[in-house]
Amino acid sequence: MSVPAGTATTLNCETIRADFPALHQDVNGHPLVYLDNAATTQKPQAVIDAVRSFYEHDCSNVHRGVHALSQRATVAFESSRTSIKNFLGARDSREIVFTRSTTEAINLVAHSFVGPRLNPGDEVLITEMEHHSNIVPWQLLCDEKGASLRIVPMTDDAELILEEFEKMISERTRIVSVVHVSNALGTVNPVEEIIRLAHDKGVPVMVDGAQAVPHMKVDVEALDCDFYAFSSHKVYGPTGIGVLFGKRERLLKMKPYQGGGDMILSVSFERTTFNEPPHRFEAGTPNIEGAIGLAKALEYIDDLGIDAIQAHEQSLLEHATQAILEVPGVRLIGAPQHRAGALSFVMEDIHPHDIGTILDQEGVAVRAGHHCAQPVMQHFNLSATVRASFGLYNRVDEIDALVKGLHSVREVFG
Amino acid sequence: MSDLKDLYQEVILDHNRNPRNCYIMDGASCTADGHNPLCGDIVKVYLRIENGIIEEISFQGQGCAICTASTSLMTESVQGKSVEEAQGLFDEFHQMLTGVAEEQGVALGKLHVFEGVREYPVRVKCATLAWHTLNAAMEEKKENVTTE
């Protein structure tokens, strides 16, 4: 936390790790090596304190009360929205909608933006690399509307085939929804180019940024995306809250997502007048402490500097790629030019779940499974992979622990 | 590493490497499909039952070492047994893994190698998938079995 924003090229891992209480524990008799950051990240003390402080001092509902606590809660909640706006480089806080998760943000766009514009025969364009959360909402919508879901293919190196993408955008395409960084493979997709190509044909673009925001600078104005979503808990904030950025002119024309309190201006049994965005899309009491905790997490990242974090994680990834491949029988899945956050691999005929159990015995937490991206697994003709995913607090010696664990796997399986 | 040796015993590793009765059966009298969504294990069990006796049993599938070995050993254990005996064995096996039983039955024999799985609660499903699937096949349930 001692490094000024934007100037650092290296992170001081020891001071950083001191900020994360959960990292300091033994698992099965070994120091915890947490390499499951793509699933969720650990939380810095500052975030835990911010959530706790809300409940200890300012706990109240937002947007309504005239009393002191409610005013404090409202100010804290709405200034979190402003922090998020600044973090994403958006123009206007009213472009920041709080959701439960990235998943809910995608569902919101499917329901309130795409749904009313989708006619039989229209198309929704996604990619082969998507998490289930960027597949299933579109499948449901396309089934309901008689539209078709089209899939941009990827190569065996785990890169999207942009020429195919260009060919697949048609006058029937109503939205392109694409993952910024693949959760299963770590591939960084060229979203700038995808957005430009789609906009050239007048097609709006939604970006699933759940795995991008923790690892790289994201500027929604520079990207010019129509929608961008991410989850708090993957970026060192609390669980249960996510963010949808939507261009103001898009949000203004969208119908509500859920009905309830806070999303209305006035209600009678004859007629309801809906509130302005973003409140139109935030029915019910929001996750107040989640918003406060998320803003604190983004502040933490800003203090370290996202460029320094990115450089640190890239060096971890490079080291991990080499070190893992030195273990006999290990094969990395995909070889994209740009990778962030995560590596997926398999080990000859040893099932990833067995690898995960054995690594856990040595205190190393990884993810084994299909990573909610079964089409990715199908592409590579696998049922599962092992995924090691990195965060700003990981150290090179933790990769060594992973490699040592993989040697133990070999030992057990002979 | 001693704990891991309890889980991955030599018999389990052997059955994982060389699963027994692993083939598609022609003329099966009943089959069932099982699925463990947690790790993506899938197994299909084939049975030829005559006069209430499991005359032949085989399987096809894809899974972790615990799942594959458990399925393989299960086929060996229930071959030639009556449907009732197989169900009784499943009950005992299940009790051994979930620690409900005060004392364990002697009928389990080789299946005792799975006792170590009890220490790994998330892996119990890997060991029991085959048995749930066998049960479904014996009861001729039409729907897929999942461990969820």
CB proximity A369 to B under 8 Å? yes
Strand partners, A339: A187
Chain A residues with CB-CB distance to B127 below 8 A: none
Chain B residues with CB-CB distance to A352 below 8 A: 39, 64
CB proximity A118 to B under 8 Å? no
- The answer to whether B120 contacts A357, with C-beta atoms less than 8 Å apart, is yes
**Strand A264-267, strand A272-274: pairing:** antiparallel
Q: How far is B135 from chain A (nearest CA, A)?
A: 24
Residue B105's pLDDT band, with cuts at 50, 70 and 90, is low
Handedness of CA A344, A368, A313, A126 (dihedral sign): positive
pLDDT in tens, B106-142: 678 899 999 999 989 889 999 999 999 999 999 875 4
Using H for helix, E for strand and C for coil, what is the string for B131-143? HHHHHHHHCCCCC
CA distances (Å), A66 to each of A61, A71, A74, A288, B134, in order? 10, 7, 10, 17, 64
Chain B residues with CB-CB distance to A370 below 8 A: 40
CATH of A48-302, one of 3.40.50.2300, 1.10.3720.10, 3.40.640.10, 3.60.150.10: 3.40.640.10
- The answer to whether A351 contacts B65, with C-beta atoms less than 8 Å apart, is yes
- The answer to whether A352 contacts B39, with C-beta atoms less than 8 Å apart, is yes
The ranges assigned to domains in chain B are 2-141
- The answer to whether B8 contacts A351, with C-beta atoms less than 8 Å apart, is no
CA distances (Å), A380 to each of A331, A333, A339, in order? 12, 8, 18
Residue length of chain A: 414
pLDDT in tens, A236-247: 999 999 999 999
- The answer to whether A383 contacts B40, with C-beta atoms less than 8 Å apart, is yes
Q: Could you say which of A352, A353, A408 has the minimum Cβ distance to residue B126?
A: A353
pLDDT score for A8: 47
Nearest residue to A76 via CA among A96, A59, A90, A89: A59
Q: Report d(CA A223, CA A28) in Å as an integer.
A: 45
Nearest residue to B32 via CA among B136, B147, B148, B117: B136
CA distances (Å), A411 to each of A59, A350, B12, B18, B42, in order? 54, 12, 15, 18, 26
Q: Could you say which of B7, B13, B63 has the minimum Cβ distance to residue A351?
A: B63
At A238, which amino acid appears?
P
Token pair in block for residue A6: 């934007």
Q: Could you say which of A28, A357, A414 has the minimum Cβ distance to residue B13?
A: A414
Task: Tell me if A190 sits within 8 A of A198, measured CB to CB.
Answer: no
pLDDT score for B143: 56
Token pair in block for residue A343: 């590596």
Q: Could you say which of A361, A370, A412 has the minimum Cβ distance to residue B40?
A: A370
User: What is the mean predicted confidence (pLDDT) over B24-48?
Assistant: 91
Residues 85-124, chain B: which have Cβ within 8 Å of A?
A: 120, 123
Please state the φ and ψ torsions of residue A190, each to the nearest 5 degrees. -75, 70
Q: Report d(CA A10, CA A3) in Å as an integer.
A: 9
Q: Where in chain A is CATH 3.40.640.10?
A: 48-302
Residue B104's pLDDT band, with cuts at 50, 70 and 90, is low
Chain B residues with CB-CB distance to A361 below 8 A: 1, 3-4
Q: Where are the beta strands (DSSP E) in B15-79?
A: 30-36, 41-50, 53-62
Does a cis peptide bond (omega within 30 degrees of 0) precede residue A278?
A: yes
Q: What is the DSSP string of B66-95?
A: HHHHHHHHHHHHHTT-BHHHHHHHHHHHHH
User: What is the mean predicted confidence (pLDDT) over B10-35?
Assistant: 95
Q: Which CATH class is domain A13-40+305-413?
A: alpha beta
Residue B6's pLDDT band, with cuts at 50, 70 and 90, is confident
Q: How far is B123 from chain A (nearest CA, A)?
A: 9
User: What is the mean predicted confidence (pLDDT) over A168-176?
Assistant: 97
At A402, which amino acid appears?
L
pLDDT score for A355: 97
CB proximity A384 to B under 8 Å? yes
Q: Where are the alpha helices (DSSP H) in A30-157?
A: 45-53, 68-88, 102-108, 136-145
Residue A7's pLDDT band, with cuts at 50, 70 and 90, is very low
Cβ-Cβ contacts under 8 Å between A and B: the total is: 53
* Annotation marks residue A372 as catalytic: yes
Name, in order, each residue with C-beta under 8 angstroms of A272's C-beta and a sequence gap of 6 or more.
A259, A264, A266
Q: Which residue of chain A comes nearest to B4, CA vs CA?
A: A358
Q: Could you say which of B40, B63, B120 has the minimum Cβ distance to residue A369?
A: B40
Chain A residues with CB-CB distance to B5 below 8 A: 412
Please state the φ and ψ torsions of residue A339, each to the nearest 5 degrees. -130, 150
- The answer to whether A413 contacts B40, with C-beta atoms less than 8 Å apart, is no
pLDDT in tens, A222-265: 999 999 999 999 999 999 999 999 999 999 999 999 998 888 89
Residue length of chain B: 148
Q: Report d(CA A92, CA A324) in Å as an integer.
A: 44
Q: Which residue of chain B comes nearest to A351, CA vs CA?
A: B64
Q: Where are the alpha helices (DSSP H) in A273-351?
A: 288-304, 306-325
Q: Could you say which of B3, B13, B62 has the minimum Cβ distance to residue A383?
A: B62
Strand order in the sheet with A385-389: A330-332, A342-347, A385-389, A367-369
Q: Where are the alpha helices (DSSP H) in A90-148?
A: 102-108, 136-145
Burial class (CB in 10 A: 0-12, 13-18, 19+), A134: buried
Reported ipTM: the value is 0.87
CB proximity A373 to B under 8 Å? no
Choosing from A13, A59, A225, A372, the catalytic residue is: A372
Task: Tell me if A248 sits within 8 A of A277, measured CB to CB.
Answer: yes
* Opening angle at CA A361, ends A239 and B112, nearest 5: 115
Token pair in block for residue A364: 């190393």
Helix and strand counts by DSSP (H, E) for chain B:
5, 4
Q: Does residue A4 register a pLDDT over 70?
A: no
Q: Which of B2, B5, B6, B8 to mutate to test the interface with A (most CBs of A within 10 A)?
A: B8
Residue B100's pLDDT band, with cuts at 50, 70 and 90, is low
Strand, helix or coil for residue A174: strand
Q: Which of B1, B2, B4 to mutate to test the interface with A (most CBs of A within 10 A)?
A: B4
Chain B residues with CB-CB distance to A350 below 8 A: 65
pLDDT in tens, A353-364: 999 999 999 999
CB proximity A352 to B under 8 Å? yes
Find out if CATH 3.90.1010.10 is the number for domain B2-141. yes
Q: Report d(CA B75, CA B54) in Å as an integer.
A: 10
pLDDT score for B101: 55
Token pair in block for residue A331: 């094969």
